[in-house]
């Protein structure tokens, strides 16, 4: 079971890295973005709050949150591993 969870986690981390390199930079601070943190990093909602933004929606995932109100540079400086357009969420949710 642990092996399967580690495999899924590593695959998600790899996909996030690839998406981070291939998606355009988010320039509008009011546009919704997917803020991703590392497993050993801070809570995504805390990263967004430090950057001056706000989380969107009633819940967040353990390593990611939808947010707006902060620039990509501010989110990265606050500890985000990746800042992706909200449309990238569909990549992770396709089944």
pLDDT, one tens digit per residue, over 79-93 is 999 898 888 777 666
pLDDT of residue 44: 92
Give the C-alpha separation, 22 to 84, whole Å.
10
The 3-state DSSP class for residue 59 equals coil
pLDDT average, residue stretch 58-80 = 90
Q: Using alpha carbons, select from 26, 62, 57 the residue that is nearest to residue 47.
A: 62
First to last CA, the chain: 21
43-63: pLDDT as tens digits? 999 999 999 999 998 777 888
For the chain, give every domain's residue range. 2-93
CB distance 35 to 64 below 8 Å: yes
pLDDT of residue 46: 95
CATH code of 2-93, in short, is: 3.30.70
pLDDT of residue 94: 62
pLDDT of residue 66: 93
């Amino acid at each position: 079971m642990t092996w399967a969870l580690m495999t899924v986690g590593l695959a998600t981390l790899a996909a996030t890295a690839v998406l981070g390199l291939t998606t355009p930079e988010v320039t509008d601070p009011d546009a919704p973005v997917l803020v991703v943190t590392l497993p050993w990093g801070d809570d995504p909602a805390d990263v967004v709050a430090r950057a001056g933004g706000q989380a969107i929606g009633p819940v967040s995932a353990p390593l990611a949150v939808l947010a707006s109100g902060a620039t990509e540079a501010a989110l990265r400086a606050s500890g985000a591993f990746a800042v992706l357009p909200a449309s990238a969420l569909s990549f992770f949710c396709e089944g």
